[in-house]
Amino acid sequence: MEVNFGVNYLAVVVATIAAVLIGIVSFGVAGFGERLARLSGMRPRTGPPSPTQFAVGIVVGLVNAWVLALLALNLVARRSPTPSCLAPLSGSDSGRR
């Protein structure tokens, strides 16, 4: 079994930026982080995140996006014929009736 590592790295970076922005909006602006801390019985944090937390968020986002891209590339590429729900995305005619 051969694994293809040729993922689209631009898409990985865009997905990482999107994940970081969604995290900032949901846990910062919308206040879900404060609610989650209260539900967990912890004291809510005040102020912006530290540079270490920001760096960890970016690294985790990069790894997560890369692994998902790698799985999508290697699991979908081996399916034959293309499932009808993915045929319009892949350009394959196998999903048409």
CA-to-CA distance for 34 and 27, rounded, in angstroms? 8
- The residues of the chain scoring below 70 in pLDDT are 1, 76-97
- For 52-81, letters b (16+ CB in 10 Å) and e give eeeeebeeebbeebbeebbeebbeeeeeee
Render pLDDT for 77-87 as a digit per residue (tens, 0 to 9): 555 555 566 55
Other beta carbons within 10 angstroms of residue 16's beta carbon come to 20
R_g over Cα of the chain: 19
The model carries a pTM of 0.66
CB-CB contact of 1 with 68 (8 Å): no
What is residue 19's predicted lDDT score, i.e. its pLDDT? Answer: 93
What is the reported pLDDT for 84? 60
Q: Given this model, what pLDDT does residue 64 score? A: 94
